[in-house]
Amino acid sequence: MAQKRSPSPQRAAMQRIVEVLARGAGPERMDREVDAIVVQLRAAGDAEEVQTWLEELRDGFAENAESAAEAVDEIESTEKAARRNAERAAAAMGACRDAFTRHLRTPVAA
């Protein structure tokens, strides 16, 4: 039987974020989650790898945040609970994008 490879640090980070988002975490929680993930990424790779991972994660969440914001606009104003949940999810994804952007400004020690 073939051994299952462990996911790349970047994929593991994405899976962790998706799990926390699925539990309905808000922007503040996602900001803290990204901070913890970045510490792990920096321990797992060299400066160049980490920079690439952070850029890819930031770009992915930038796209997701934009899509989520567009989805909010498509929800009927009478569906208050659905709209509130969608707004929270969009804000949480935006917080992920912003946190990865902030970490990209911090130099990675070689």
pLDDT digits (tens, 9 = 90+) for 7-51: 788 889 999 999 999 999 999 999 999 999 999 999 998 999 999
Mean pLDDT of the chain: 90
Report yes or no: 68 and 93 within 8 Å, Cβ to Cβ.
Answer: yes
At CA 34, angle to CA 30 and CA 39, rounded to 5?
A: 150
Which residue's structure tokens are 């994804």? 93
CA dihedral 11, 16, 28, 58 (to 10 degrees): 10
Residue 109 has pLDDT above 70, yes or no: no
Residue 110 has pLDDT above 60, yes or no: no
φ and ψ of 2, to 5 deg: -70, 140
Residue 84 has pLDDT above 70, yes or no: yes
Which residue's structure tokens are 């899509």? 67
